[in-house]
């Protein structure tokens, strides 16, 4: 019995140490990015959000962050729309082949290395002449689609089939079932999926490196370009800003999750 308790306690301690190890880079970047001194100091002597906001004083960093946020917003909304349509198809399509085809297509991007997809997008951009920012937005949306779809499917799996069938019997309209029952009940999951897609787009560097020039870079792309030449404290400020944006997304995501749990309770 005592051995069991010791084993459980040890397992708990080791698990927390592993979680701590995972958080080290995050703590270092946020710490260095928020430190008021100009050098790379860790642990930070004094934390201040203003030091992270220095990144907005530089024109190229400001443009890069604005572009990242815009691409993130459009790509995440596109990802949620595609994932939602695919979920409806998988749920309601009578033909099993359609369902399998849709499921395979929507999950496929998760199994394609990002670098391979990036080369494909560069070739597509060259062939079609579509502006690079649009291709990047579509690319980020596709990268986020599998995980967004899975999140929406989690919500869909919790939706009782009997409720959907009863609504269809009562209204006789597919549109009413979707707009009055399915979509409102899945709203928190759309929110979660949207936040995840936004976080993916905000921090994804590879597609941007391939598609955009340094003159019209996203924030992660600019950080990598800068890293090649020198240690610029602004890179850490941008890292801290991106980290804080993702933390905000995560906290909002938790709010959605708690809302779902309360709703179900």
Partner 1 sequence: MAEEFRVGRIVTLAVLCIAVVGPIALLVLHALPRYPSPASVLATDPSRMSLLDLMLTAALRTVGVSAMASAISLPSSLIAAFGLARLGPVALTVVVLVLALPMFLNVLVVILAWLVILQPDGAFVWLTTVGFAQSLLDALRHSTLASVIAIVNVLIPVQTLLFIYSIKQRDDSLVDASLLLGVSRARTFWSIDLGLLAPSIAGVWAIGTLITVNLYLIPEFITGPKLTMLPFLIQQAVIQKFDLAQAARLAMVTMVVTLVPILLARLVQLRLGGRG
Q: In the complex with partner 1, which residue's Cβ is closer, 60 or 203?
A: 203
* N- to C-terminal Cα separation, the chain: 35
Q: Rule CB under 8 A: say whether 46 interacts with partner 1.
A: no
8 binds partner 1 (CB under 8 A): yes
Site string for partner 1, 17-36 (x = CB under 8 A): -xx-xxxxxx-xx--x----
Binding mask of the shown chain, residues 83 to 102, with x at each position contacting partner 1 by CB under 8 A: --xx-xx--xxxx--x--xx
> 113-172: which residues touch partner 1 (CB under 8 A)?
113-124, 126-127, 138-139, 141-142, 168
User: Buried (b) or exposed (e) across 28-37, using 16+ Cβ within 10 A?
Assistant: bbbbbbbbee
Distance CA 206, CA 265 (A): 42
Residue 261 in contact with partner 1, rule: CB under 8 A? yes
| Crossing angle of the two packed helices 59-92 and 233-264, in degrees rounded to 10 | 30
Q: How far from the centroid of its chain's Cα atoms is residue 132's Cα?
A: 21
Kindly tell me which of 2 and 19 has the beta carbon lying closer to partner 1.
19
Pick the binder of partner 1 from 72, 109, 191, 193 (CB under 8 A). 109
**Two tokens at 212?**
């955009």
In whole angstroms, how close is the CB of 45 to partner 1 at the nearest point?
Answer: 11
Contacts of 257 (CB under 8 A, 6+ apart): 188, 192
Is position 56 an interface residue for partner 1 (rule: CB under 8 A)?
A: no
Residue from 106, 151, 152, 181 in contact with partner 1 (CB under 8 A) = 106
Q: How far is the CB of 91 from partner 1 (least distance, A)?
A: 9
Ordered alpha helix ranges (H), the chain = 2-34, 49-53, 59-92, 96-107, 114-128, 132-158, 161-171, 174-176, 183-203, 206-211, 219-227, 233-264
CB of 205 to partner 1, least distance (A): 6
232-251 positions binding partner 1, by CB under 8 A: 235-236, 239, 242-243, 246-247, 250-251
Please choose, from the candidates 72, 69, 65, 70, the residue with its C-alpha nearest in 3D space to the C-alpha of residue 237. Answer: 65
Binders of partner 1 among residues 185 to 224 (CB under 8 A) are 196, 199-200, 203, 205-206, 209-210, 220, 223-224
Q: With H, G, I as helix, E, B as strand and everything else as coil, classify residue 41.
A: coil
């Amino acid at each position: 019995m005592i051995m069991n308790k010791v084993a459980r306690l040890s397992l708990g301690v080791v698990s927390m140490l592993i979680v701590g190890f995972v958080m080290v880079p995050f703590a270092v970047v946020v710490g260095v990015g928020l430190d008021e001194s100009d050098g790379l100091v860790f642990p930070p002597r004094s934390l201040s959000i203003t030091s992270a906001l220095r990144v907005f004083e530089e024109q190229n960093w400001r443009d890069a962050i604005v572009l990242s946020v815009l691409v993130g917003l459009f790509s995440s909304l596109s990802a949620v729309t595609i994932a939602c349509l695919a979920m409806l198809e998988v749920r309601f399509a009578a033909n099993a082949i359609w369902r399998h085809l849709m499921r395979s297509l929507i999950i496929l991007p998760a199994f394609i290395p990002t670098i391979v997809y990036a080369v494909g997008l560069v070739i597509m951009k060259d062939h079609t002449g579509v502006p690079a920012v649009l291709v990047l937005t579509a690319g980020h949306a596709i990268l986020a689609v599998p995980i967004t779809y899975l999140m929406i499917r989690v919500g869909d799996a919790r939706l009782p089939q009997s409720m959907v069938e009863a609504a269809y019997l009562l209204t006789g309209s597919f549109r009413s079932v979707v707009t009055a029952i399915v979509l409102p009940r899945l709203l928190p999951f759309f929110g979660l999926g949207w936040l995840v897609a936004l976080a993916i787009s905000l921090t994804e560097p590879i597609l941007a490196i391939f598609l955009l020039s340094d003159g019209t870079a996203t924030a992660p792309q600019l950080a990598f370009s800068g890293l090649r030449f020198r240690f610029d404290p602004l890179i850490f400020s941008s890292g801290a800003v991106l980290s804080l944006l993702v933390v905000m997304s995560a906290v909002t995501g938790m709010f959605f999750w708690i809302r779902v749990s309360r709703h179900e309770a």
